Amino acid sequence: MSSREVMKRHGATLLAVLPEAGFDVRAVIELPDGEKAKTVKEWERSLNAMVRTRLDRSGFLIGFGGGTIGDAAGFAAATFMRGVRAIQIPTTLLSMVDSSVGGKTGLNLAAGKNLVGSFHQPSLVLADLRFLKTLPERERRSGVYEILKCALLRSEPLLRLLERTAGLKTATSREVAEAIHSAVRIKARIVESDERESGDRALLNLGHALGHALEAATAYRRFTHGEAIGYGMEFVADLGEALELTPPPVATRIRKAVGAIGPRRTVPRAAVARAGVALLGDKKRRGLKIREILIRDIARPEFRDLEATALKQLAEAWLRAGDGPHRPSGRSPFLSS
């Protein structure tokens, strides 16, 4: 399973290598590029194609592409015949360090991102860094945001690497490989301790509450996933500072690290209210509260349950500020007691 664009660039190579490795390739299922791959319609079409090829539990479904392909292929594998094996071959930096690791699969609904999904660990993940040579610059930056997320959660050394290489823009190939290895190791260790997100795995949602809301509010067309999470991490830095949990020097360091990765598209004014509504539909909502991840210090994240309505209002005000962060003064009314 792949996208048309990935097959155009790399399909011939993969289809030549797989038979040499002993794989009997029965069919190629091509999905649309981007988030359009993660719809119920495309999922059903994929399952019907798997039926026609007579795929059974002795076989594999390979997800060959970026994060959306990995999510769609993983969910198709998880649900076909109640589960067939999956192999992930990520071709983007984002999918190498994020979606291919951990077994999360999913589809989008109009109400929000990844509201349909399951945990289905791949049998193999093969990340060949040569795929990154053809990666557009914007997609490269998208992956670096997720590497930054891992650094903020667990690794001061990884953050220093990103800082000294201007968000990997001046990094050597060895430093890029080091950053990828470090990020994958961080995520894998978190997942190993909490596969189904009942505890610390939820830390990997750092920046995702607002990030997913922005993606949904703009119909998944304006931002890459990493760009949206970049906004989410900036918001978390400002929010933590406002709540007097994130020290100002740490918040500043986070904002600088996000900014060093590169430019992002601005948030349309018309999308602000839609983002607020999408935020209220976040999967992490618990009744009247949303569990947010804040940063007490680098590699010291902390969960906070915040009033959902107040968080929505703050996020909207922060987005409307546009040219600068919105920082409320005084004691925050949305801090959970």
- Rounded to an integer, what distance in angstroms lies between the CA atom of residue 190 and that of residue 314? 30
Is the same domain home to 40 and 55? yes
- Rounded to an integer, what distance in angstroms lies between the CA atom of residue 173 and that of residue 177? 6
Q: What is the pLDDT of residues 129-176, one digit of tens each?
A: 999 998 999 999 999 999 999 999 999 999 999 999 999 999 999 999
SS3 content of the chain, % helix, strand, coil (to 5): 55, 15, 30
Is the same domain home to 141 and 124? no
CATH code assigned at 35: 3.40.50.1970
Is residue 122 within 8 Å of 88, Cβ to Cβ? yes
pLDDT the model gives residue 283: 73
Q: What is the pLDDT of residues 66-87, one digit of tens each?
A: 999 999 999 999 999 999 999 9
pLDDT the model gives residue 281: 85
Is the same domain home to 114 and 147? no
Is residue 337 in a domain?
no
pLDDT the model gives residue 210: 96
Is the same domain home to 130 and 144? no
Q: What is the pLDDT of residues 258-272, one digit of tens each?
A: 999 988 899 999 999
| Percent of the chain topping pLDDT 90 | 85
pLDDT at 235 over 90: yes
pLDDT the model gives residue 329: 40
pLDDT the model gives residue 197: 87
pLDDT the model gives residue 300: 98
Catalytic residues: 82, 104, 146, 187, 197, 201, 205, 208, 212, 225
Q: What is the pLDDT of residues 82-112, one digit of tens each?
A: 999 999 999 999 999 999 999 999 999 988 7
pLDDT the model gives residue 333: 39
- Rounded to an integer, what distance in angstroms lies between the CA atom of residue 119 and that of residue 334? 32
When mean pLDDT is compared across 97-111, 187-201, 276-290, the lowest value belongs to 276-290
pLDDT the model gives residue 324: 44
Looking at 97, 119, 134, the residue that finishes a domain is 134
Is residue 70 in a domain?
yes
Is the same domain home to 9 and 103? yes
Is the same domain home to 100 and 217? no
pTM beyond cutoff 0.85:
yes
For residue 161 the two structure tokens come to 């690497």
How many domains, the chain?
A: 2
Is residue 183 in a domain?
yes
- Rounded to an integer, what distance in angstroms lies between the CA atom of residue 208 and that of residue 202? 10
pLDDT at 218 over 90: yes
Is residue 333 in a domain?
no
pLDDT at 331 over 60: no
pLDDT at 241 over 90: yes
Looking at 134, 166, 188, the residue that finishes a domain is 134
Looking at 93, 111, 134, the residue that finishes a domain is 134
pLDDT the model gives residue 47: 98
Is residue 334 in a domain?
no
Range of the domain at 275: 137-321
Q: What is the pLDDT of residues 16-35, one digit of tens each?
A: 999 998 889 999 999 998 88
Nearest to 230 by CA among 256, 196, 249: 256
Is the same domain home to 91 and 194? no
pLDDT at 337 over 70: no
DSSP 25-80: -----EE-SGGGGSSHHHHHHHHHHHHHTT--TTSEEEEEESHHHHHHHHHHHHHG
Buried b / exposed e over 253-283, threshold 16 CB at 10 Å, is bbbebbebbbebeebeeebbebbbebbebbb
- Rounded to an integer, the average pLDDT of 218-224 is 92
User: Could you tell me which residue, 114 or 151, shows the higher pLDDT?
Assistant: 151
Is the same domain home to 130 and 37? yes
Is the same domain home to 126 and 158? no
Is the same domain home to 143 and 115? no
- Rounded to an integer, what distance in angstroms lies between the CA atom of residue 162 and that of residue 261? 9
> Cα 246–222–150 angle (5° rounding)?
35
Is the same domain home to 47 and 86? yes
- Rounded to an integer, the average pLDDT of 207-211 is 95
pLDDT the model gives residue 323: 46
For residue 61 the two structure tokens come to 């479904």
Is residue 117 in a domain?
yes
Average pLDDT over the chain, rounded to an integer:
92
pLDDT at 327 over 70: no
Residues 6+ away with beta carbon under 8 Å from 297: 247, 250
Handedness of CA 248, 227, 208, 157 (dihedral sign): negative
Is residue 86 in a domain?
yes
Is residue 189 within 8 Å of 201, Cβ to Cβ? no
pLDDT at 335 over 60: no
User: Could you tell me which residue, 209 or 287, shows the higher pLDDT?
Assistant: 209
Is the same domain home to 118 and 143? no
Is residue 329 in a domain?
no
CATH code assigned at 164: 1.20.1090.10
